[in-house]
Amino acid sequence: MPLARRSLDKLEAHIRTCLESVGAQRMSLPCLTASSLWEKTGRLGDIGPELMKFEDRHGKKYLLAPTHEEALADLLADVGPLSYKQLPLLLYQISNKYRDEHRPKHGLLRSREFVMCDVYGAHSHVHDAAHVYQRVSTCYNQLFTRLGLNVHRVAAPSGDMGGSVSHEWQLPASAGEDTLSVCPQCQHSALEPSDTCAQCGGSTTVVNSIEVGHTFILGTKYSEPLDAHYTPSSGPTQPIVMSCYGIGITRLLAASLEALSSEKSLRWPKLIAPYTVCIIGPKEGSKEWQSHGWESICGLHDDIASATAHKGDIIIDDRHNMTIGKRLMMADRMGYPYIIVCGRSTQESPPQYEVYTSGDPSTTSVMMLTKEQLIQYINTHKHEEITNIKTTSAI
């Protein structure tokens, strides 16, 4: 729906900024993939039940891609062999994926169709892959920190993806299907439930968690059978060493709400809230409406938009037939970071506005500010967010 779509667009924009800061280039691969590619890598039989398969009118077999390792290796083979001077290469896409889940549940947390960002690395040697792997992992850490999400990177089995290195990115949340052991002392975390930390021997806390990302060094599992090669400085061509890095975007959106919200109110990471500012005007016909009606509300909107970095990110609740209290309650449930109420204090000279900020799900603080103070307050907090982004995005 429109509000979550706005949040999803913001999340995708932050992910793009994150990835391009480490040299990733955006591309698009087809959702429709020939089954023959999956036959060559052996995955058609290994994960067959999860694949949505069909035939075209000519009897050629296809599947709706749940992931794109085969398609990427096939592309590299088609344009190759690449020179070692062209490597490493880091490509990413954001697209819909399809899996025939046995039991879809919890809305966007587990569904048959979902939005995913997958990044693919092409390398000449496993050492180069390890170096890029660390850079992208650092980038992912910074992304989750920026979003205010306590995501843990934990060693994990490679499973059907294969490869030599595998990490899951787990976000603690009560709705999670996975179990995570976290050590408060050394911050080490592991997927295996344990009372004692293997790193420092301290006591651990066991929590439910949601997998929001998975990263791998794949080696030549896909490049070798699909003939994706590169030309070294000397000698014959060699299979490209591949790596991949996935973030389930719709799952991350849903998981962040599960982790931050309460049963009564949604709480978004501030950077991806559908709107940053919500303005609630007086009830139509009230004394406040006579002196601070629609024109004044629109003027407040325009002044905030022109004096802050939130142009296009401010919404007016124009249901002025409803009481302020009802609209305030609904705005708090939606979780807008800043809620501005034009109440009785707008009768004062100068007018003052009630400013509600959402932090902990159980609390909503309120301040009384003039328009100038309000703009300064929003700008100060926005400056802190921008400074944090610039500091943490450097690799």
Unique residue bearing structure tokens 């980038």: 139
Give the global pTM.
0.90
Mean pLDDT across 6-14: 97
Q: Are 173 and 255 in contact (CB under 8 A)?
A: yes
pLDDT digits (tens, 9 = 90+) for 94-140: 999 998 887 777 778 888 899 999 999 999 999 999 999 999 999 99
**Which residues, 6+ apart, have CB-to-CB distance to 126 below 8 Å?**
164, 217, 219, 241
pLDDT at 78 over 90: yes
Q: Residue 379: enclosing H or E segment and its boundaries?
A: helix 371-392
Distance CA 153, CA 170 (A): 6
Domains plus CATH for the chain? 2-170+211-260 (3.30.930.10), 270-392 (3.40.50.800)
> Which phi and psi (to 5°) does residue 61 adopt?
-90, 135
pLDDT digits (tens, 9 = 90+) for 192-201: 888 888 888 8
pLDDT digits (tens, 9 = 90+) for 350-373: 999 999 987 654 556 789 999 999
Q: Are 247 and 140 in contact (CB under 8 A)?
A: yes
pLDDT at 259 over 50: yes
Whole-number pLDDT of residue 205: 93
pLDDT digits (tens, 9 = 90+) for 308-340: 888 899 999 999 999 999 999 999 999 999 999
pLDDT digits (tens, 9 = 90+) for 164-176: 899 999 999 998 8
Q: Are 169 and 150 in contact (CB under 8 A)?
A: no
CA angle centred on 368, ends 366 and 372, rounded to 5°: 125
Judging by DSSP bridges, how do beta strands 152-155 and 52-55 pair with one another?
unpaired
pLDDT at 146 over 50: yes
Identify the weakest region by mean pLDDT among 173-187, 246-260, 277-291: 173-187
Give Dmax (Cα) for the chain: 85
Judging by DSSP bridges, how do beta strands 32-34 and 61-64 pair with one another?
antiparallel
pLDDT at 209 over 60: yes
Going by pLDDT thresholds of 50, 70 and 90, the confidence category of residue 380 is confident
pLDDT at 25 over 90: yes
Identify the weakest region by mean pLDDT among 22-26, 145-149, 152-156, 378-382: 378-382
Whole-number pLDDT of residue 384: 45
User: Which residues partner with 215 through β-bridges?
Assistant: 167, 245
Q: Residue 155: enclosing H or E segment and its boundaries?
A: strand 152-155
